[in-house]
Amino acid sequence: MPQARTISCALHDYIEVSCLYGYQVKLLLHDKQTITGKAVDIISSAEKREYLLLESLPPIKIELTEIKQLQVLMPGAKFQTLKIMETELSEVVIFSP
């Protein structure tokens, strides 16, 4: 069975903060798709893949490894933008307000 791709712990922490504070986020995916919603939880599948659950109509589940950029749309947030580079070590660049 192929091993699931993972993200860095630092990136995971920032996504968890988005869920903890219920940030409204805009995601840019690797396939150029843009998705907006309220970050509510990170869930895992039986195959050990992790997904960001967005509260929207309908609710959306995005695999964490598919996220290229996460932008927080709320003023006063702990951070504004995560730009995720595809490298072996899942490099994360963080832009603060």
Side by side, the strands of the sheet bearing 50-55 are: 60-63, 50-55, 34-44, 24-29, 67-72, 81-84, 92-95
At 14 the three-state DSSP class reads: helix
Q: Is the pLDDT reported for residue 73 higher than 60?
A: yes
Closest CA to 63 of 14, 9, 1, 12: 12
pLDDT (tens digit per residue) in 11-42? 899 999 999 999 999 999 999 999 999 999 99
The pTM score is: 0.83
Residue 8's contacts (CB-CB under 8 Å, 6 or more residues apart) are 89, 90, 91, 92
**All domains in the chain, ordered by first residue:** 9-95 (2.30.30)
| pLDDT confidence tier of residue 91, bands split at 50, 70 and 90 | very low
